[in-house]
Amino acid sequence: MVADLVPARPPRGLLLLVWCGYAAFAVGLLHALVSVYWAAGGTAGLDTLGGTLEELARQRDPRLIAIVWLTAGLKLVASVLGLAVVQQWGRRLPRGLLLVAAWGAATLLVLYGGALTVGQVLVKVGVVAAAPTMNWKAFHWHLFLWDPWFLAWGLLLAAATWGSARRQRTG
């Protein structure tokens, strides 16, 4: 009777995957907020980007600023996908479209973050030679924060999406 009114909790493993959705949202939101900060004119941390990107950002190049605003919006949408695959309101969205979008975003994030991180690790351990003009400060920021952050976000979103698809199949 009363037990019939209490919704069944998902198995512990699926509950962990739900938390991955929340974590994917948080990681993505933080990524988006950094982009919004830079697009709005913030300069703290620009030196961690390095190269032409840093120069154009400091010059407030209108094309770059437009791209950063667009990127911030895409990051926000991708972060919300983490919630959509684990929240009740996400079930009101077309399921196939939601899963394709979430898997697509997760794949892009993993490939982008993974390829850059692996490439930088190869430079760091000496398998690939560093350019003589390497900006080591920016390199280390990318190696230890920016690029693994994309990879972690993609893995969290993939886990949440997998859990959502699995829960849908099992009822």
**One digit per residue, pLDDT tens: the chain, 171 residues?**
444 444 456 566 677 888 999 999 999 999 999 999 999 999 999 999 999 999 999 999 999 999 999 999 999 999 999 999 999 899 899 999 999 999 999 999 999 999 999 999 999 999 999 999 999 999 999 999 999 999 999 999 999 999 888 766 655
- What is the dihedral angle through the alpha carbons of 15, 17, 19, 21, rounded to the nearest 10 degrees? -140
Q: How far is CA 89 from CA 8, 80, 85, 86, 94, in A?
A: 18, 11, 9, 9, 11
CA nearest to 155, candidates 22, 20, 33: 20
Region for residue 94 given its phi and psi (left: phi exceeds 0; alpha: psi -120 to 50; beta: otherwise)? beta
